[in-house]
C-alpha cells in the first residue's frame, strides 16, 4: 500500500465518503510553458446577456490556445480528452450542487459563500494548476453558470503564464489599489462563460496582501458580479505559504490535489489541519493508476457526497 493510499485510508476511517480519481499520466515530466495566448480586441459577444451580467474589460479578449496548453501538459492528450471530460463533469456536479441547489448551510452558519472555490495542494508539483484550469473549462460549459478563474499563486503564477496575461494588471493590483474597479481588470476569454483575473503586478508583500482584509473584499466583489458565477482561485500550496489558512477561510469550498504515490501522508494530514473545518473540502487524487478490481479507479472524496476526479498534468 502506497503512502498516499495509507493517508487516504486513514482519512476514510475518520468517516468520509469514497469517490473517483484519475487515469495514469500521459506525460509525467511535462512542465508548463507559455501557451502564447494573447490579449486582443474583443470581436463579438461572448456571453448571453439575458443569463449573465459579467462583462469584464469588453475591449480585451484572452485567446485560449488549446493546442499550446495540451503541449505544455495542462490539457490531456486528445486520446484521453473524452475520459477526462467525463471525470471533470463528475467532479463539478457536487460543487455546483453545493453552490446553487441548497446543499450549503444557511448564510448565518457559514463564513464564506459556497460559490467561491479554492484549488490548492499540500506541496508544489501535484497537479494544482492542471486541476484549476480543467475544472474552470468544465464549469464554463454550463449553460446557466459562468466561472472566474483567478490566479492567486503569486510566487508561481502558472495560470497567468500559460494564458499569456502575465503583463496584465490583476489580483495584486486590486489588493494594493483599493480604488481599482474589480470588473475593469476581469478579462473575458473566447471560451463562452470563462473569465480570467491575472495575478497582476509582482509585489514583495504578496503574502501579506493575499491574507489581508482587502482580499476578502475582492472575493466578495467578484462573487457579486453575477449570482450565477463560480469564483475559482488557483492558490499557492498550503504547506509553503503562511497565508493558506486565511485564504481558505475566504472560500466556501476547497479542492485539494494529492499526487498518487508522491504526496507524503503527513503532508495531507497537515494541509487538511491548516485548512480547518470552515470550508467544504474535497480531495482529488492525481495520476492514480487504474485498478480494475474497483471499477477502474481508486481515489477518495473528503466531504459529504464530494466526488474526486483525476488528471494527467503536474503543474
Chain segment 234-249, per-residue pLDDT in tens: 999 999 888 888 899 9
Residue 168 and residue 124: Cα distance in Å, rounded? 24
CATH architecture of 3-294: 3-Layer(aba) Sandwich (3.40)
**CA nearest to 158, candidates 190, 121, 183:** 121
The predicted-structure confidence for 280-313, as pLDDT tens digits, reads as follows 999 998 877 654 333 322 233 333 333 334 443 4
Q: Which helix (H) or strand (E) holds 161?
A: helix 158-162
Q: What residues are paired with 257 via a beta bridge?
A: 121, 284
Give percent of the chain above pLDDT 90.
52
Domain ranges across the chain: 3-294
Residue reference for cell 457526497: 305
Q: How far is CA 121 from CA 35, 49, 142, 172, 272, in A?
A: 23, 35, 26, 21, 10
The predicted-structure confidence for 83-138, as pLDDT tens digits, reads as follows 889 989 999 999 999 999 877 777 766 778 999 999 999 999 999 999 999 999 99
Amino acid at each position: 500500500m502506497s503512502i498516499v493510499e495509507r493517508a487516504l485510508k486513514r482519512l476514510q476511517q475518520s468517516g468520509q465518503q469514497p469517490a473517483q480519481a484519475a487515469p495514469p499520466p500521459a506525460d509525467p515530466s511535462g512542465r508548463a510553458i507559455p501557451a502564447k495566448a494573447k490579449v486582443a480586441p474583443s470581436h463579438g459577444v461572448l456571453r448571453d446577456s439575458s443569463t449573465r451580467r459579467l462583462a469584464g474589460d469588453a475591449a480585451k479578449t484572452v485567446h485560449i490556445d488549446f493546442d499550446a496548453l495540451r503541449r505544455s501538459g495542462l490539457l490531456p492528450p486528445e486520446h484521453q480528452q473524452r475520459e477526462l471530460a467525463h471525470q471533470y463533469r463528475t467532479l463539478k456536479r457536487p460543487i455546483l450542487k453545493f453552490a446553487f441547489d441548497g446543499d450549503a448551510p444557511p448564510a448565518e452558519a457559514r463564513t464564506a459563500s459556497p460559490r467561491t472555490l479554492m484549488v490548492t495542494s499540500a506541496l508544489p508539483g501535484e497537479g494544482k494548476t492542471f486541476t484549476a484550469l480543467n475544472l474552470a473549462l468544465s464549469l464554463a460549459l454550463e449553460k446557466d453558470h459562468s466561472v472566474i478563474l483567478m490566479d492567486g499563486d503569486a510566487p508561481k503564477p502558472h495560470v497567468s503564464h500559460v494564458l499569456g496575461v502575465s503583463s496584465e494588471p490583476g489580483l495584486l493590483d486590486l489588493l494594493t489599489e483599493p480604488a481599482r474597479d474589480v470588473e475593469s481588470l476581469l478579462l473575458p476569454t473566447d471560451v463562452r462563460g470563462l473569465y480570467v483575473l491575472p495575478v497582476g503586478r509582482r509585489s514583495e508583500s504578496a503574502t501579506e496582501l493575499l491574507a489581508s482584509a482587502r482580499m476578502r473584499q475582492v472575493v466578495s466583489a467578484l462573487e457579486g458580479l453575477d449570482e450565477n458565477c463560480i469564483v475559482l482561485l488557483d492558490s499557492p500550496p498550503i504547506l509553503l505559504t503562511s497565508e493558506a489558512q486565511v485564504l481558505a477561510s475566504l472560500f466556501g469550498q476547497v479542492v485539494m490535489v494529492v499526487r498518487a504515490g508522491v504526496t507524503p501522508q503527513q503532508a495531507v494530514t497537515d494541509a487538511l489541519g491548516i485548512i480547518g473545518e470552515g470550508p467544504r473540502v474535497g480531495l482529488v487524487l492525481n495520476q492514480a493508476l487504474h485498478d480494475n478490481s474497483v471499477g477502474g479507479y481508486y481515489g477518495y472524496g473528503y466531504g459529504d457526497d464530494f466526488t474526486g476526479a483525476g488528471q494527467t498534468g503536474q503543474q
